[in-house]
Chain A
Amino acid sequence: MADNILAITIGAILVNNFVLSKFLGICPFLGVSKKLSTALGMSGAVVFVMTLSSLVTSLIYKFVLSKSFTINGTAVNLSFLKILVFIVVIASLVQLVEIVLQKFSPPLYQALGIFLPLITTNCAVLGAAELNVQAGRGVLASTIYGFCSALGFALALVLFSSLREKLDLARVPVPLQGTAIGLITAGILAMVFMGFSGLV
């Protein structure tokens, strides 16, 4: 079990990094990486939401969706509804978390701010839930995978935003300024992360 968890951790953070090798969550990766401070806020929100949503969705899958039952002599298995259920559950969960945070922890609510609602329908969050089902992970392993994937996302986002802050000071050829050089940097960063492949 411990070996398995180590493999999940290293695999999710470095080898199969969500952004840089699975290409999930590219939108916030490019959108909120202009400043390190916003990148940190976004990372916090993603870690928070992905861990929680992995836990809840794997619970729902394990105890509701994957069960087969018989109604009127027909075997019914609702696992084909998983994407629909997951996205609705994740969106509601984030809404709920936002409401609760606003009431009980205004500072945290301010810090996560706009990022919480932004990631309700993010593909990385849904992707974590979906990949957990595909890999047949249990509830604990799913939660750890969600947490570590989010850490991997945070790592990529923080690295990338630090690079972009440096890029602001660099002399970039005029046609490449802005998003263009950002995309090139992201590509090189992805190639660097390819160096981890085969580790797990």
Chain B
Amino acid sequence: MTIILVSLLFAALLGAILALIIGVAAKAFAVESDPRIETVTDMLPGANCGGCGYAGCADFAKAIVEGVAPPNDCPVASAEATVRVADYMGITSEEKEKVVAVVRCSGGISDTVRSPYNGVEDCRSAVLVAGGAKGCDYGCIGFASCARACPFDAIEIRDGLAVVHPDLCVGCGKCVDVCPKDLIILTPAAVDVHVYCNSPEKGAAKRKVCKTACIGCRKCVKASDSEDQMLIDGFLIATNYNNPPLPDLVEKAACPTTALRLATQHAAGAYEGVSK
């Protein structure tokens, strides 16, 4: 009993003495740093995602205070938060268009021809071995490298397919860097219509391995309001993000393979099981 008491007392005493020493030293040797850095850090989202190119929010805040970086370099902060930081610093900040990531593939594992793959469950590893479990050489491998890279849990793997939730995505671009198939692009958040296919193969070849590939039938191009809303590149059609079509194009075009989708409905799972 005595030993326990003495140990406790000793540990408490030691802790108190050390705390006192450090506390006194911290006060005595305090180094003045710009208090605005801390205030700006508190105003930033605190996600430390590195989307701005700095080593975290505190580092970015330092750059803002030093006038090296504009507040709107933060892809996560809302427009109001950016304006608040700019007002605090007494500078004006231009509003930056919000972007979200889009995985340009709609082929779930049940939609594509399967080839066996028993290796490491990581897209970049799968690419080294044989390209994963799907028949298409251009599609999403579905081993969640992007989902693991996402600091905001905005990517869900559903039926072996990476699906971005546009409401959670902040457009930091971390997933873009890790995707070995370069499938993910950052698109303006205001545009909802996307072609969820990235295969440049001929229509028939694509159809052979994937039920939801874009076969280049041009129904969407004909249904669109003006010529260049949808861009044709060989057998692949893509949204023209500089002149985007309205969301009702999806209904008007009635894409035969459902490769043309609304990002919001795609995320909500509206297209599951509808492929022909």
Contact = CB atoms under 8 A, between A and B. Distances in A.
Interface of A: 71-72, 74, 76, 78, 81, 84-85, 88-89, 92, 95-96, 99-100, 102-104, 174-175
B18 interface: yes
A96 B11 CA distance: 19
Given A88-B14, A96-B21, 16 more contacts: A71-B2, A74-B3, A78-B10, A84-B11, A85-B14, A88-B15, A88-B18, A89-B14, A92-B22, A99-B26, A100-B29, A103-B29, A103-B30, A103-B31, A104-B29, A174-B128
Interface in B1-35: 2-3, 6-7, 10-11, 14-15, 18, 21-22, 25-26, 29-31
Given A72-B2, A81-B11, A85-B14, A102 B25 contact: no
B9 to A, nearest CB: 10
A102 B30 CA distance: 8
Nearest to B129: A175
9 contacts: A74-B2, A84-B11, A88-B14, A88-B15, A88-B18, A89-B14, A96-B22, A96-B25, A102-B29
Contacts of B26: 99
Q: Which 6 A-B pairs have the closest CB atoms?
A: A103-B29, A92-B18, A74-B2, A99-B25, A99-B29, A76-B6
Contacts of A95: 22
A103 B3 CA distance: 41
Nearest to A85: B14
B93 to A, nearest CB: 31
Given A78-B10, A175-B128, A92 B31 contact: no
Nearest to B15: A88
A76 B3 CA distance: 6
Nearest to B26: A99
Interface in B93-114: none
A108 B254 CA distance: 67
A71 B6 contact: yes
